[in-house]
Amino acid sequence: MKQRYESLEQVNNLREIQAMRRLSPHPNVLELSEVIFDKKSGTLMLICELMDMNIYELIRGRSLYLPEKKIKYFMYQLLKSVDYMHR
């Protein structure tokens, strides 16, 4: 989070943090473990579960196209998470 914040209350009112807290736990949504706010510097750090890589890194790091079966599996997971968020 690149912006500077004045207080913990301001941090807790961020839409992203509120949404991540409400959406956890779900197997297709990244879990927010902790929010660290350094009052002195006004910086914020979000601690999430560890992932090997994100989907952008997976696609970009390849010289060949992903197999159709794998693309369908990723799309299924993505749509399951979107459905969960809309509910």
pLDDT per position as a tens digit, 40-57: 998 898 898 888 888 888
pLDDT at res. 1: 56
- Looking up tokens 């510097």, which residue turns up? 41
- The C-alpha atoms of residue 68 and residue 74 are separated, in whole angstroms, by 10
Q: What is the pTM of this model?
A: 0.66
Q: Which residues touch 15 (CB under 8 Å, ≥6 apart)?
A: none
How many degrees, rounded to 5, is the angle at CA 68 between CA 65 and CA 71? 85
Residue range 73-78: mean pLDDT, rounded: 92
How many degrees, rounded to 5, is the angle at CA 21 between CA 14 and CA 76? 110
Chain centroid to CA 80: 15
Q: Domain-by-domain residue ranges, the chain?
A: 1-50, 51-87
Integer distance in angstroms from the first to the last C-alpha of the chain? 27
